[in-house]
Structure 1
Amino acid sequence: MLGEFRRSLLLAPLSGVEGGLMSGWQGGVRWIYAFTDEEALSRFAAARGASGQEWEYLAILGARLLDAVIPGGDGPTGVAVNVADEEGSMLFPPVVGIVPDAQAVDADRTDAA
């Protein structure tokens, strides 16, 4: 599933307030919202009471989110895909094997003496 995510072109809505990618916080983790198609993004907009409004978004590969965007973040960051869908939503948490080790919350940070 991770390989497919990395190869997929996703839609990441832009935050009008902050100017970056739209995200939310849960459990001390920042979750960047990403969607597999415009219909999934529309369902998310409707769930937020923004049905019918036009949302700007960035089309971006999953690999770029994980390898380039997350390292530029402030603290633990993962990706939440299709979060408005009860079935088919996915979380890619900030753990080793998904995000770069430097951003993984479960990375071994002890220095060998």
Structure 2
Amino acid sequence: MELVAEIAAYREGNGDPGRLVGEFRRAVLLAPLADAEAGVEGGLMTARSGGIRWLYAFTDEEALGRFAAARGEADREWPYLAVLGARLVDAVVPQVDGPAGVAVNVADADGSMLFPPVVGIVPEGSAVDFDGGVPAAGGRGEVL
């Protein structure tokens, strides 16, 4: 099953967290690049919310287009990298200063999904619920 279908199933209460994370890791996602005006030319576009840096990622150009339109910026070029979800969480998240997760299809009210910085999604050293050799109290590594 593809990521969009897994997100839909999970949001409807029929999904499996392990399958969802697996599809996310296997999916080729479009990660928009930050523009020069943001002061981080060449970096990935992110937002900070609740103390977490969220990397934006989209399942296709249409989803990225909806995001651009929601920002009132559909008329400009949106350069992006095509990258595996696994690469985002395994290689990019550990490079971010502080907790980071991935926000997929954020402009789609019924099709968005957050992959937070918890055990089972990001590497243990980047997970907010990991404390040494064991998950911190309450940390189960599930998609929230």
TM-score by length of structure 2 reads: 0.75
2:110 is the alignment partner of 1:87: yes
Q: Which residue of 2 aligns with 1:70?
A: 93
Partners of 2:31 and 2:128 lie apart in 1 by: 23
Paired residue total: 111
Partners of 2:110 and 2:47 lie apart in 1 by: 20
Kindly report which structure 2 residues correspond to 1:1-113, keeping only aligned pairs within 5 A, or say none: 1-17=20-36, 18=40, 19-109=42-132
Could you say what the CA RMSD is over the residues aligned between the two structures, in angstroms?
1.3
Unaligned runs of 5+ in 1: none
**SS of 2:94's equivalent?**
helix
Q: Percent identity?
A: 68
Deviations 1:36-88 (A, max 9, x none): 00000000001111012111000000000010011111100000000000011
**SS of 1:43's equivalent?**
helix
Name whichever structure is richer in helix by fraction. Answer: 2
Larger RCO (CA within 8 A; separation ≥ 6)? 1
- Deviating above 2 A after TM superposition, structure 1's stretches of 4 or more consecutive aligned residues are none
Partners of 2:49 and 2:35 lie apart in 1 by: 20
Unaligned runs of 5+ in 2: 1-19, 135-144
Partners of 2:62 and 2:71 lie apart in 1 by: 14
